[in-house]
Amino acid sequence: MTTGPAEVLAALKWRYATKKFDATRKIPADVWSSLEQSLVLSPSSYGLQPWKFVVVETPAVRAELRKASWNQSQITDASHMVVLCRKLEVTPADVESYVDRIVEVRGVPRAVLDDYRKMMLGSIANPAAVPGGSMEIWTRSQVYIALGVFLAACAVAHVDACPMEGFDPAAYDAKLGLREQGYTACVVATVGYRAADDAFAGMAKVRAEVAKVISRV
């Protein structure tokens, strides 16, 4: 690997929340595939991956979703769009299925995972004790880890992105049939290439003074 701390910092300084995408430019398939894989590879609590990532490709669906997103142009103009969704519930069946997957991938006997399995089952049996204090908050938090990883991956890959919370989750759920599948929309990422005339591209990045957000003990 040729990357390092300086490269990631340069990438994070380069990125910005793209307001206007070049609607004529598409992300090459191999690049998009890598970005999708960054979502799949994202860490999550226990590794449970309580999420689904819906890649919306159909232009007519994108146009419908734009109406449920304050008519923001990124929804239709970006090369790609992904809706990051959380699982409504994490069930014992999800834990068992995850343990099965560990057995399959690592080729270990199921018995060696029993303590881990019981720990996870104990956690979900008492949702008030999960980090954040509810299943909803816990699963939503995991989805935002994936968003952060994805935005960093886009930056390092020199692909523009705009994370978007300004949409109607209920309308998204309905149009994408998410609740029937056990999921709900949390946040959207539109991805592609900035338009040459996006006024926001040239603006200085605004962040708090370091002393305000970093403290040392």
CB of 86 to a copy of itself, least distance (A): 10
CB of 204 to a copy of itself, least distance (A): 5
Rounded Cα distance, 146 and 144, in Å: 5
| CB-based contacts of 6, cutoff 8 Å, min separation 6 | none
- β-bridge pairing 80-87 and 183-192: antiparallel
CB of 36 to a copy of itself, least distance (A): 6
DSSP 107-118: ---GGGGHHHHH
Which C-beta is closer to a copy of itself: that of 24 or that of 47? 47
Q: Helix or strand or coil: residue 12? A: helix
CB atoms within 10 A of CB 217: 2
| CB-based contacts of 89, cutoff 8 Å, min separation 6 | 135, 182
Which C-beta is closer to a copy of itself: that of 89 or that of 144? 144
CB of 70 to a copy of itself, least distance (A): 10
Which C-beta is closer to a copy of itself: that of 73 or that of 181? 181
CB atoms within 10 A of CB 72: 17
Which C-beta is closer to a copy of itself: that of 51 or that of 193? 51
Which C-beta is closer to a copy of itself: that of 10 or that of 114? 10
For residue 48, the number of C-alpha atoms closer than 13 Å in the C-beta half-sphere is 27
Which C-beta is closer to a copy of itself: that of 114 or that of 165? 165
Q: Helix or strand or coil: residue 40? A: helix
From the number of C-beta atoms within 10 Å of its C-beta (0-12, 13-18, 19+), residue 41 rates as exposed
CB of 211 to a copy of itself, least distance (A): 10
CB of 93 to a copy of itself, least distance (A): 13
Q: Which residue has the tokens 């029993």?
A: 114
